[in-house]
Amino acid sequence: MNNLIVIAGPTAVGKTKTAIEVAKHFKTEIISADSRQIFIEPHIGTAVPSDEELSQVKHYLIGTKHVTDNYNAWIYEQEALETIQSIFRTHNVAVLVGGSGLYIDAVCNGIDEIPDIDPELRATINAEFENNGILSLRKTLQRLDPEYYEIVDLSNPVRLKRAIEICLQAGKPYSELRKSQKKQRPFNCIKIALNLPREELYEKINSRVDQMVAQGLEAEVRQLEDFQECMALKTVGYREFFDYFNGKCTKEDAIEKIKQNTRKYAKKQITWIKRTNDYTWFSPYETEKIIAHISASIC
């Protein structure tokens, strides 16, 4: 049987480095499971692997869409499965790496049947956000689906609105829809999760944000200012600078807010992974142990 090695974990923990080392060991290729790196225009703020890293192992589903494109986990599922099958034509192992839990679940378990959303309902939810802000969305989601509220990125209005509209359209919690029967995949999933002590992880997050700013994050966001209403850019690292450009905060406040929101996002990522027991946890410094575990788990 073919084997898909999944490497998940919070942002800045070291997933890219580990994935490259694992892929090189098993002489295979990497599929990205990152909902932001799929886009071409945002680069610095999404921590796209460097040219040197990309040259070591072939990567897929990085920089293939524009921020103006309509893209979601349902589309990703189809594209990722097609890519994985193409890798399996010449390899019996492939590596899936990323911090987007919904994308990983889409590949391993499948996306459930989600109802079409009535345009009027969608307009109502958008109006709620425009008139009352993100706090209103949070309260609504917590009432409709407290379980999903605990794992969703509460600073991402796109995810909040999507969950709310599904709850209201389906008449049941989004988390319940996501628990329907798991789809069978023609490959074995070996799931690895990386983590570090909280203080060390937060230090790495803060350092990464400082590095992004030094690399020109502000200029990158400035170039995308005309697209700030695109859903792909309503994300950490971009919306904070848009607030700065729009006079809502100072540059220093924006940078500090990026660090704070990234730390919150990392916590949500860890919660998402821990909601199931099918991951084996490692430190990113335990590459040899990770490879040994994978070798013992390969079918």
pLDDT averages per 10-residue partition of the chain, 299 residues: 97 98 98 96 96 97 94 89 98 96 90 73 88 94 94 90 90 80 89 98 98 98 94 90 96 97 93 91 98 96
* pLDDT value, residue 113: 65
* pLDDT value, residue 129: 92
Neighbours of 90 (CB within 10 A): 8
Task: Give the span between the Cα atoms of 60 and 72, in whole angstroms.
Answer: 16
Give 2-112+180-297's CATH code, choosing from 3.40.50.620, 1.10.3720.10, 3.30.2020.30, 3.40.50.300.
3.40.50.300
Q: Could you tell me which CATH number the domain at 119-177 has?
A: 1.10.20.140
- The pTM (predicted TM-score) of the whole model is 0.84
* pLDDT value, residue 179: 66
* pLDDT value, residue 123: 84
Give span(s): CATH 3.40.50.300, the chain. 2-112+180-297
* pLDDT value, residue 138: 96
Give span(s): CATH 1.10.20.140, the chain. 119-177
